[in-house]
Amino acid sequence: MEIASLVIHVRPERFEEVREAIGALPGTEIAASDPRGKIVVTVEAGPGDRLGERLTELSVMPNVISATLVYHATATQDSSIEGAA
């Protein structure tokens, strides 16, 4: 399993629209948000899921200005976490 956290900057006038679109994506969760245009998102990907594709999908969404990866970790089968912040 992989987990990542991103800070996404969006156009403030489209904040709710983008928030809904992000929330509809499988494996994503909005951890925090500010209606002035910032959304903190966690993304989880299990076996067979493609985390990189989900991150790209978030960064090219309409009305997204930027998406910055702030954390990424991989859990091995023995449930230990290996990552970097």
Domain limits for position 78? 2-84
Residue 48, pLDDT > 80, answer no
> pLDDT tens, 8-34?
999 999 999 999 999 999 999 999 999
At 72, which helix (H) or strand (E)? strand 64-75
Residue 42 and residue 3 in contact, taking contact as beta carbons nearer than 8 Å? yes
The model carries a pTM of 0.83
Taking the C-alpha atoms of residue 20 and residue 45, their distance in angstroms, rounded to an integer, is 20
Instruction: Round the CA-based radius of gyration of the chain to a whole number and report it.
Output: 13
DSSP state of 25: S
Could you tell me the CATH number of the domain that includes residue 73? 3.30.70.920
Q: Provide the number of structural domains found in the chain.
A: 1
